[in-house]
Amino acid sequence: MLILLLTNCSYLNVFVAGELFLLSSVIFLLQVVSGCPEKCRCRSSSSFVDCSQQGLVEIPSDLPPQTLTLHLQDNQIHQLPAFAFRSVPQLTTLNLSNNSLSNLAPGAFLGLQHLRVLNLTQNSLLSLESRLSHSLPQLRALDLSSNNISHLPTSLGEPWENLTIFAVQQNKLQQLHRALLESMPNVRFLFLKDNLWKCNCHLLGLKLWLEKFIFKGQ
């Protein structure tokens, strides 16, 4: 009887060990399928991904496809290639502040049809791509503060219907075309201070737009 009991215990131990191994294998496979990049932190089934302050020089290639909010601020990212965020098509909020971005490749944000908030503050950007509105039709807030932007496009080609916040303070702008502002018919908050504005005829368009903006009570 004692020998039988020991035999049964040994069998039970082997069974339990096998079950644990199977469970750990399943967990590992789940992590591979929907895991978090090595230098990032993920919460709420990976819909929130924080890759800030990790010394990254490029966008992680293994971001969870279900990501909605992505924090990449305080890294050393120098450039964004076309379709840089193709792996996270559901993204709604993207923070790229305090990196080393000097330019954005045409189509860098292509595929982000749901993005609503884009933070590009404290980079080294020199200009804004005129077709950015085509890539980000749902964008509501764009913050380009604290860059080296000296000029903005004359217009966006078509209305940026959903944009309500446009911030370009602390840049090197000397003028702002009225047509560009009229490409943002629903903008409610416009941040322009601390630029190199020159009070001459080139600012007339901005003045007229602001008068209309104030008159409409926006």
pLDDT of 5 reads: 36
Same domain as 28, residue 117: no
pLDDT digits (tens, 9 = 90+) for 193-203: 999 988 877 67
Do 4 and 83 belong together in one domain?
Answer: no
Q: Are residues 18 and 120 in the same domain?
A: no
Indicate whether 76 and 104 sit together in one domain.
yes
Residues of 177-208 as b/e, b for ≥16 C-beta within 10 angstroms?
Answer: bbebbebbeebeebebeebeeeeeeebebbee
Q: What are residue 166's phi and psi, to 5 degrees?
A: -135, 115
Q: Where are the alpha helices (DSSP H) in the chain?
A: 2-34, 132-135, 178-182, 204-215
Determine the average pLDDT of the residues in 31-53: 84
Instruction: State the total domains in the chain.
Output: 2
Please state, in angstroms and rounded to a whole number, the distance separating the CA atoms of residues 81 and 122: 19
Whether residue 8 sits in one domain with residue 54: no
Indicate if the pLDDT at residue 119 is higher than 80.
yes
The model's pLDDT over 59-94, given as tens digits with 9 standing for 90+, comes to 998 999 999 999 999 999 999 999 999 999 999 999
pTM beyond cutoff 0.85: no
Tell whether 69 and 26 lie within a shared domain: no
Give yes or no: residues 86 and 107 share one domain.
yes
pLDDT at 218: 53
Question: What pLDDT score does 17 carry?
Answer: 46
Does residue 30 sit in the same domain as residue 58?
no
| Together in a domain, 177 and 154 | yes
| Pair of tokens at residue 29 | 């496979």
What domain range includes position 24? 1-34
pLDDT above 70 covers what percent of the chain? Answer: 82
Percentage of residues of the chain with pLDDT beyond 90 = 61
**Does residue 27 share a domain with residue 59?**
no
CB-based contacts of 155: which residues, under 8 Å, 6+ apart? 130, 177, 179, 180, 182, 183
Looking at the structure, tell me whether residues 12 and 92 fall in a common domain: no
